């Protein structure tokens, strides 16, 4: 179910999975790839639901065409700016729209050489952005990074938890930790979301540095360290939400603490979340 920062909506509709690749082939070559969703709301669309009258309705196929064609006019490097650009342009084009929410997930490509002629998919983590705009301006600006897959060979423990008749897990003093992580954050002012991707770049670096440099007693402690570091070092972020999955691999065979063979973890998996505000 979709949610809007501006509050409950009795109706909304739009187009999702709109794929855009903007290729800059001269000057400083680059690939800007995004999977975009646009949702609109307003009383003008209510008759479509109640009587089938489509007089004021903008077809979702037209939305798809709008997004893909107007992407050519967006010259920035970041998802937030793209969402803001498309949303503002859509409101300008269609006066019957009361508000629009545009979200995008990065489709990342990295250059193979310094000449930046050839590229290949990168990741696995992908930046995301969500902007909601109304007739009075920007209502919400949110960003995030989804899909971190992080492996630490040593320096992770898990022990001292409740033991009862349901407990089979032994204390783990030094385990190889494999976790997945998603992050979302909100800005203190929506305008601070338009930062040419510098905040996402900084947070990606913080996640990597904290995970590799911090010896932990739980995944909860890891994500708390990441979250507090983000709030401490990036003052324009008002709130951060972290959600992790414990995907630590199953042990096949080990030779002491030196070498082991492992396989992908079987379901079910542990999931945990944390939300921090200033």
Q: What is the CATH number of domain 146-277?
A: 3.10.270.10
Residues 143-198: tens digit of each pLDDT: 999 999 999 999 999 989 999 999 998 888 888 999 999 999 999 999 999 999 99
Neighbour order of strands in the sheet with 237-246: 13-24, 30-41, 99-106, 126-134, 137-152, 177-187, 237-246, 270-277
Return all residues near 9 (Cβ < 8 A) that are at least 6 apart: 41
Contact criterion met (CB below 8 Å) for 81 and 68: no
pLDDT reported for residue 149: 97
Cut 0.85: pTM above it = yes
Q: Where are the domains of the chain?
A: 13-134, 146-277
Decide if pLDDT at 202 tops 90: yes
Dig out the tokens for 85 from the structure.
């650009």
pLDDT confidence band for 61 (50 / 70 / 90): very high
| C-alpha to C-alpha distance for 32 and 23, rounded to whole angstroms | 6
What mean pLDDT do residues 46-54 have?
A: 97
Decide if pLDDT at 70 tops 90: yes
| C-alpha to C-alpha distance for 182 and 271, rounded to whole angstroms | 11
Residues 86-128: tens digit of each pLDDT: 999 999 999 999 999 999 999 999 999 998 999 999 999 999 9
Q: What is the CA radius of gyration of the chain?
A: 22
Mean per-residue pLDDT of the chain:
95
| C-alpha to C-alpha distance for 126 and 105, rounded to whole angstroms | 7
So which residues are the catalytic ones? 15, 60
Which residue would you say has higher pLDDT here, 102 or 1? Answer: 102
What mean pLDDT do residues 197-212 have?
A: 96
pLDDT reported for residue 29: 84
- CATH topology (fold) of 13-134: Urate Oxidase (3.10.270)
Dig out the tokens for 2 from the structure.
């979709």
pLDDT reported for residue 79: 97
State percent of the chain over pLDDT 70: 100
Task: Classify residue 57 by its DSSP letter.
Answer: P
pLDDT reported for residue 228: 97
pLDDT reported for residue 45: 97
Tell how far CA 147 is from the center of its chain: 8
Decide if pLDDT at 27 tops 90: no
Domain 13-134 and domain 146-277, same fold? Reply is: yes
Alpha helices, DSSP H, located in the chain? 46-50, 60-70, 79-93, 198-213, 219-233
State percent of the chain over pLDDT 90: 90
pLDDT reported for residue 28: 85
C-alpha closest to that of 29 among 116, 133, 154? 116
Decide if pLDDT at 256 tops 90: no
Decide if pLDDT at 257 tops 90: no
φ, ψ of residue 30 to 5 degrees: the values are -155, 160
pLDDT confidence band for 2 (50 / 70 / 90): confident
Residues 220-236: tens digit of each pLDDT: 999 999 999 999 999 99
């Amino acid at each position: 179910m979709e949610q809007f920062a501006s509050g409950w909506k009795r109706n909304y509709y739009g187009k999702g999975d709109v794929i855009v690749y903007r290729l800059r082939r001269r000057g400083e070559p680059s690939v800007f790839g995004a999977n975009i969703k646009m949702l609109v709301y307003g009383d003008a669309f209510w008759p479509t639901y109640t009587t089938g009258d489509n007089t004021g309705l903008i077809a979702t196929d037209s939305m798809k065409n709008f997004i893909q064609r107007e992407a050519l006019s967006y010259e920035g490097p970041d998802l937030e700016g793209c969402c803001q650009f498309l949303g503002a342009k859509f409101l300008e084009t269609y006066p019957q729209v009361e508000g629009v929410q545009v979200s995008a997930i990065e489709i990342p490509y990295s250059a193979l050489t310094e000449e930046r002629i050839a590229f290949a998919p990168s990741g696995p983590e992908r930046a995301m952005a969500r902007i909601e705009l109304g007739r009075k301006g920007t209502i919400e600006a949110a960003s995030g990074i989804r899909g971190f897959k992080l492996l630490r060979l040593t320096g992770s423990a898990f022990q001292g938890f409740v033991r009862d008749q349901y407990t089979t897990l032994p204390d783990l003093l030094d385990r190889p930790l494999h976790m997945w992580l998603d992050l979302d954050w909100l800005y203190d002012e929506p305008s601070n979301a338009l930062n040419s991707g510098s905040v996402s770049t900084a947070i990606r670096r913080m996640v990597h540095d904290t995970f590799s440099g911090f010896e932990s007693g739980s995944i909860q402690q890891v994500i708390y360290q990441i979250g507090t570091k983000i709030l401490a070092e990036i003052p324009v972020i008002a709130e951060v939400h972290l959600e992790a999955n414990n995907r630590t691999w199953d042990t096949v065979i080990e030779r002491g603490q030196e070498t082991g063979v492992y396989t992908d973890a079987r379901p079910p998996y542990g999931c945990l979340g944390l939300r921090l505000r200033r």
